[in-house]
């Protein structure tokens, strides 16, 4: 059932041009295709096999060069149509019937809120018509859409509009995309939509029309996305020299969408929650997410569309690189420090556990059963870290030269991760063979660094040792190339320059390349043992262990010139304290020292407000499973709560004073200064409520009622629901609903917040929400907001010792698998990590997986369940 990278073969034929004709009828849709097919010059072996993919299609007719084929002249299976043909060129035509209104998988052509839309990546196009549905077949598409004019006056596809006519109550639109593309980038939309428009002029003077299409009633929610799009276009010109290439760029917002968004050429389709925003309805976090995703999809126009992937094993070629590009974009638009530490937290909370679990895979996987299951944090976020390491190793200038060479060389082609590294090797003259293990080997390396100081020779010797535990996908690990950005801080707090003759130490960038299983670095001219600040800006995705003392960490929290590492040292202290509490009691001396540093940081005007808020945020429970295998997760949760309470109580006066002195902006703007103030203020409010509910519940209620923006309203709402007394919680739940019942985006938050309260009734409340008239099983956002949020964010209730949380999740997964396999396979994720938990919990999680395994499962869910039991 699995397919392997090593079996990759180019197809015998390729489809050069594709003409599609869609007739959108009330009961079904008729798709007529005409394909201009040629022999594929890239195919080395002689073959006459023309193989097309198809899934859930009703085949009505097949023709070759105009002649209808009889059933004996082609082979059809449940997933393919093939014929042997001894021609160098031919025209293949076929007609299929499909049923978009019954399509609950949200792959291919489906209906969302009365509008037709598509999702073809990775293998959805084969649910529309028979086609070479593989990314190494690039074709020029012309698309004709015929639909009912009343219901679907807006009919869109990729590229440029050639003609649009209205006759006999029908709209007929014809689109042409001049850029050859794989079928996964095809898109079609038809609906009664409103368009918000803007313009952008590119570097070289091309006038581009920008359009965002939304359902009636959402037209006031497009400003932020349009502004983000223009900023993305400017940024890609300035930072990567990449310009937009069509006269039209369209975004469509749909409510039913499996993922965040999709980069279809010239016609991006977005989950409405990732594009629509106003200050009243969206939080600062949502504004930031929208800016990042709009950027991400736009940047795909080069990293993904102009240069695409040869096969799906290369997925990270476009996704890792594009995440890296969008992260840089967001860093340039907002707070670089905050973006980095958020991304590192995310990686540690999600990617490290993936690498330690049953679905572990390399950034370029060697095999898969269902490609939808490989749109993972490893492909995306670790893939981005790998690109970031390349830039660290090459330096920013060579990296840009490498990216230019990559785009120029592979423009219009389907490429591989090796091609990307090749470009970096060409411009730098470096041999990156060993580096490529980051693409081929799964696993999170453990890196330890120890110091040895020799007073006589005035040298400091660092010894690094790396080891990567075996992962579920097997195989021993060879050493990685680990770029360790580092610095020295003397005991008096001063930064020291590093002098070393080591060839693997790049002095200009202060980066040490650790390539061996064990390796030393000798640093000269050291008068006394300094603290070492390692892995600055998290220069490699590894689990680091060093030999710093608590005092040295406190010293770094106050003095490290690298802002990221000050936060990191603070996180390490938090983790240490929480683990102490799990076993016995906090170390009083360490608490005192921590309190002192926190107070100093909070008073330091040089530290951004948003960073102050992050410094007060404790590491998530899931990070502790990496530090102490099989630790009791609820004892971690309790210890973490105890530490939060301690901070809230000890710093109460400071928090009160700061909370009162921070500004309240009456005119909302999404800009770093305001965002930072709101973030800190709301973080302080949470601590104040923890320390003194009686006094602060009223203040939170007032904020909830009076807030002029969703950031402040939602924070207050969340805190009252989580910490407030039951009467107050129930009150805000009903007030919030009556205020926002008509707003789809805000409603998602209303669901999400309610499942975050943990008490003896949590599970029954969650179940009641599933029966709420506004809940819909067909809508992935709602499933994520209720079932997903319960399993991912309510640690206490989901992991309750009776195992009822696990049972609930498994039941829901089985039910959802009948409608939407992709979502089911994602939702089951928390159960698959059963081996990381304590024995009793692990067994209860596994029992639910065993039960699932006895049912008839989709290919998606089967792969995840069987791998996590295997
Ligand atoms: N390429 C899209 C993005 O990252 C995601 C598509 C996901 N599709 C899927 N079947 N999982 O922007
Ligand atoms: Zn992407």
The pair of three-digit structure tokens given for residue 547, joined into one six-digit string: 């030999």
Q: Residues of the chain with pLDDT > 70: what percent?
A: 100
- Answer yes or no: is pLDDT of 828 > 90: yes
Alpha carbon distance 612, 678 (integer Å): 12
The pair of three-digit structure tokens given for residue 436, joined into one six-digit string: 């490529």
Atom 1 in ligand 1: residue holding the nearest Cα: 262
**What's the pLDDT score for residue 475?**
78
Residue 772 near residue 811, CB atoms below 8 Å: no
**What's the pLDDT score for residue 47?**
97
**What's the pLDDT score for residue 352?**
98
Of 120, 259, 379, the residue with max ligand 1 atoms within 8 A of its CB, to mutate for a pocket test, comes to 259
Whole-number mean pLDDT of the chain? 98
Residue 799 near residue 788, CB atoms below 8 Å: no
Ligand 1 atom index nearest CA of 259: 7
Catalytic residue chosen out of the listed positions 93, 107, 174, 297: 297
Residue 394 near residue 424, CB atoms below 8 Å: yes
Alpha carbon distance 496, 515 (integer Å): 25
What is the pTM assigned to this prediction?
A: 0.99
**Per-residue pLDDT tens for 626-649?**
999 999 999 999 999 999 999 999
Burial of 852 per CB tally in 10 Å (0-12, 13-18, 19+): buried
Residue 836 near residue 625, CB atoms below 8 Å: yes
Alpha carbon distance 114, 116 (integer Å): 7
pLDDT grade, residue 496 (50/70/90)?
very high
Mean pLDDT of 350-359: 97
Residue 489 near residue 498, CB atoms below 8 Å: no
- Answer yes or no: is pLDDT of 741 > 80: yes
From the list 128, 171, 162, 123, the residue with the least C-alpha distance to 142 is 162
**Per-residue pLDDT tens for 248-260?**
999 999 999 999 9
**Per-residue pLDDT tens for 604-613?**
999 999 999 9
Residues paired with residue 443 on neighbouring β-strands, in sequence order: none
Assign residue 412 a region: left if phi > 0, alpha if psi is -120 to 50, beta otherwise? Answer: left
Asked whether the ipTM of the predicted complex exceeds the cut of 0.90, the reply is yes
Cβ of 121 less than 6 Å from ligand 1? yes
Three-state SS across 491-526?
CCCCEECCECCCCCEECCCCEEEECCCEEEEEEECC
**What's the pLDDT score for residue 197?**
98
Integer angstrom CA distances of residue 857 from 337, 479, 851: 44, 39, 11
Which pairs from 214-219 meet CB under 8 Å and 24+ separation? 214/252, 214/253, 214/272, 214/276, 215/113, 215/115, 215/191, 215/253, 215/255, 216/192, 218/194, 218/253, 218/272, 218/276, 219/194
pLDDT grade, residue 56 (50/70/90)?
very high
**Per-residue pLDDT tens for 554-588?**
999 999 999 999 999 999 999 999 999 999 999 99
The pair of three-digit structure tokens given for residue 88, joined into one six-digit string: 């160098």
Mean pLDDT of 469-493: 95
Q: Residues of the chain with pLDDT > 90: what percent?
A: 99
Place of tokens 């990221």: 564
Helix (H, G, I), strand (E, B) or coil at 158: coil
pLDDT grade, residue 301 (50/70/90)?
very high
Alpha carbon distance 419, 432 (integer Å): 12
**What's the pLDDT score for residue 473?**
81
Alpha carbon distance 702, 699 (integer Å): 5
**What's the pLDDT score for residue 186?**
99
Of 261, 267, 309, 375, the residue with max ligand 1 atoms within 8 A of its CB, to mutate for a pocket test, comes to 375
Atom 5 in ligand 1: residue holding the nearest Cα: 262
Of 124, 125, 256, 262, the residue with max ligand 1 atoms within 8 A of its CB, to mutate for a pocket test, comes to 262
DSSP H or E segment with residue 49: strand 49-53
Alpha carbon distance 829, 83 (integer Å): 40
Q: H helices within 616-743, ranges in order?
A: 624-627, 633-650, 652-661, 672-691, 693-706, 710-723, 726-740
164-175 in b/e burial notation, b at 16+ Cβ within 10 A?
A: eeeeeebbbbbb
From the list 152, 134, 361, 327, the residue with the least C-alpha distance to 235 is 327
DSSP 472: T
Mean pLDDT of 721-726: 96
- Answer yes or no: is pLDDT of 450 > 80: yes
Place of tokens 């210890």: 639
**What's the pLDDT score for residue 483?**
99
Cβ of 538 less than 6 Å from ligand 1? no
Place of tokens 């990559």: 406
Helix (H, G, I), strand (E, B) or coil at 381: helix
DSSP H or E segment with residue 198: strand 193-201
CA of 320 to the centre of ligand 2 (A): 8
Alpha carbon distance 403, 381 (integer Å): 19
CA of 375 to the centre of ligand 2 (A): 9
The pair of three-digit structure tokens given for residue 580, joined into one six-digit string: 């102490």
**End-to-end C-alpha distance for the chain, whole angstroms:** 15
Residue 199 near residue 209, CB atoms below 8 Å: yes
- Answer yes or no: is pLDDT of 474 > 80: no
Mean pLDDT of 310-330: 99
Helix (H, G, I), strand (E, B) or coil at 420: helix
Mean pLDDT of 272-296: 98
**Per-residue pLDDT tens for 756-766?**
999 999 999 99
Cβ of 263 less than 6 Å from ligand 1? yes
Mean pLDDT of 172-178: 99
Place of tokens 């025209």: 91
Q: What angle do CA 783, 357, 321 make, to 5 degrees?
A: 75
**Is 297 part of the annotated catalytic residue set?**
yes
The pair of three-digit structure tokens given for residue 366, joined into one six-digit string: 């060697």
Question: Which residues are CB-contacts of 726 (< 8 A; sequence separation ≥ 6)?
Answer: none
Cβ of 122 less than 6 Å from ligand 1? yes
Range with the poorest average pLDDT among 273-282, 391-400, 472-481: 472-481
pLDDT grade, residue 296 (50/70/90)?
very high
Mean pLDDT of 348-362: 97
The pair of three-digit structure tokens given for residue 485, joined into one six-digit string: 């950005």
**Per-residue pLDDT tens for 112-168?**
999 999 999 999 999 999 999 999 999 999 999 999 999 999 999 999 999 999 999
CA of 323 to the centre of ligand 2 (A): 7
Cβ of 319 less than 6 Å from ligand 1? yes
Question: Which residues are CB-contacts of 597 (< 8 A; sequence separation ≥ 6)?
Answer: 554, 557, 558, 570
Cβ of 262 less than 6 Å from ligand 1? yes
Cβ of 185 less than 6 Å from ligand 1? no
């Amino acid at each position: 059932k699995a397919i392997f990278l090593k079996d990759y073969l180019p197809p015998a034929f390729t489809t050069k041009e594709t003409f599609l004709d869609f007739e959108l009828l009330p009961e079904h849709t008729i798709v007529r295709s005409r394909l201009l097919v040629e022999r594929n010059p890239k195919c080395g072996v002689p073959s006459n096999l023309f193989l097309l993919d198809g899934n859930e299609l009703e085949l009505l007719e097949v023709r070759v060069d105009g002649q209808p084929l009889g059933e004996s002249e082609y082979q059809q299976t449940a997933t393919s149509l093939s014929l042997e043909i001894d021609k160098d060129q031919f025209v293949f035509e076929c007609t299929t019937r499909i049923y978009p209104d019954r399509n609950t998988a949200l792959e291919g052509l489906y209906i969302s809120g009365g509008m037709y839309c598509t999702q073809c990546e990775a293998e959805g196009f084969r649910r529309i018509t028979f086609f070479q549905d593989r990314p190494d077949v690039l074709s020029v598409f012309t698309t004709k859409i015929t639909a009912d004019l009343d219901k679907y006056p807006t009919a869109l596809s990729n590229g440029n509009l050639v003609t649009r006519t209205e006759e006999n109550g029908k709209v007929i639109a014809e689109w042409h995309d001049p850029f050859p593309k794989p079928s996964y980038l095809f898109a079609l939309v038809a609906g009664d939509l409103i368009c918000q428009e803007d313009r952008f002029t590119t570097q070289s003077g091309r006038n581009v029309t920008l359009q965002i299409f939304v359902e009636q009633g959402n037209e006031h929610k497009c400003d932020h996305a349009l502004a983000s799009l223009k900023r993305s276009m400017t940024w890609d010109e300035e930072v990567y020299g990449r310009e937009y290439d069509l006269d039209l760029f369209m975004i469509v917002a749909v409510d039913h969408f499996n993922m965040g968004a999709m980069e279809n050429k010239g016609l991006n389709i977005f989950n409405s929650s990732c594009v629509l925003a106003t200050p009243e309805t969206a939080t600062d976090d949502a504004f930031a997410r929208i800016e990042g995703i709009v950027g991400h999809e736009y940047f795909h126009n080069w990293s993904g569309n102009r240069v695409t992937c040869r096969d799906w094993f290369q997925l990270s070629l476009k996704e890792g690189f594009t995440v890296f590009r969008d992260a840089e974009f967001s860093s340039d638009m907002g707070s670089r420090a905050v973006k980095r530490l958020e991304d590192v937290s995310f990686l540690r909370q999600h990617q490290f556990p993936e690498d330690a679990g049953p679905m572990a895979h390399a950034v370029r996987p060697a095999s898969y059963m269902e490609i939808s299951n490989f749109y993972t944090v490893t492909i995306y976020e670790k893939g981005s870290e790998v690109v970031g390491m390349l830039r660290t190793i090459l330096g920013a200038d060579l990296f840009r030269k490498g990216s230019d060479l990559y785009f120029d060389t592979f423009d219009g082609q389907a490429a591989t991760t090796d091609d990307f590294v090749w470009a970096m090797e060409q411009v730098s003259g470096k041999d990156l063979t060993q580096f490529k293990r980051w693409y081929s080997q799964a696993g999170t390396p453990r890196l330890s660094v120890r110091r040895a100081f020799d007073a006589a020779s005035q040298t400091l010797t660092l010894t690094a040792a790396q080891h990567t535990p075996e992962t579920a996908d097997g195989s021993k690990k060879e050493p990685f190339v680990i770029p360790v950005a580092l610095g020295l801080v003397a005991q008096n707090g001063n930064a020291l320059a590093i002098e070393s003759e080591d060839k693997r130490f790049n002095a200009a960038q202060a980066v040490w390349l650790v390539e061996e299983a064990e390796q030393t670095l000798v640093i000269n001219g050291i008068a006394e043992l300094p603290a070492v600040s390692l892995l600055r800006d998290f220069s490699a995705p590894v689990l680091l262990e060093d030999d710093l003392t608590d005092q040295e960490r406190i010293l770094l929290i106050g003095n490290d010139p690298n802002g990221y590492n000050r936060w990191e040292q603070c996180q390490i202290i938090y983790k240490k304290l929480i683990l102490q509490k799990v076993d016995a009691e906090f170390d009083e001396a360490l608490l005192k020292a921590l309190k002192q540093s926190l107070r100093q940081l909070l008073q330091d005007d040089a530290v951004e407000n948003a960073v102050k808020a992050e410094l007060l945020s404790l590491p998530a429970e899931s990070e502790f499973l990496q530090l102490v295998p099989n630790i009791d997760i609820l004892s971690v949760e309790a210890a973490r709560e105890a530490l939060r309470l301690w901070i809230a109580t000890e710093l109460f006066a400071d928090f009160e004073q700061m909370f009162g002195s921070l500004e309240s902006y009456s005119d909302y703007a999404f800009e770093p200064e305001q965002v930072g103030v709101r973030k800190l203020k709301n973080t302080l409010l949470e601590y104040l409520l923890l320390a003194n509910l009686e006094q602060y519940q009223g203040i939170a209620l007032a904020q909830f009622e009076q807030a002029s923006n969703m950031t402040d309203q939602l924070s207050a709402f969340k805190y009252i629901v989580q910490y407030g007394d039951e009467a107050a919680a129930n009150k805000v739940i009903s007030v919030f609903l009556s205020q926002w019942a008509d707003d789809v985006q805000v409603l998602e938050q209303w669901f999400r917040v309610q499942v975050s309260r943990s008490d003896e009734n949590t599970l029954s409340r969650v179940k009641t929400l599933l029966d709420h008239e506004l809940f819909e099983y067909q809508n992935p956002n709602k499933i994520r907001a209720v079932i997903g949020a319960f399993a991912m964010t309510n640690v206490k209730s989901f992991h309750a010792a009776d195992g009822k949380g696990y049972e609930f999740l498994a039941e829901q997964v089985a039910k959802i698998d009948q409608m939407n396999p992709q979502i089911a396979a994602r939702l089951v994720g928390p159960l698959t990590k059963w081996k990381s938990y304590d024995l009793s919990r692990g067994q209860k999680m596994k029992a639910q997986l065993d039960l699932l395994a006895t049912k008839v499962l989709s290919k998606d869910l089967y792969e995840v369940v069987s791998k996590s039991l295997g």
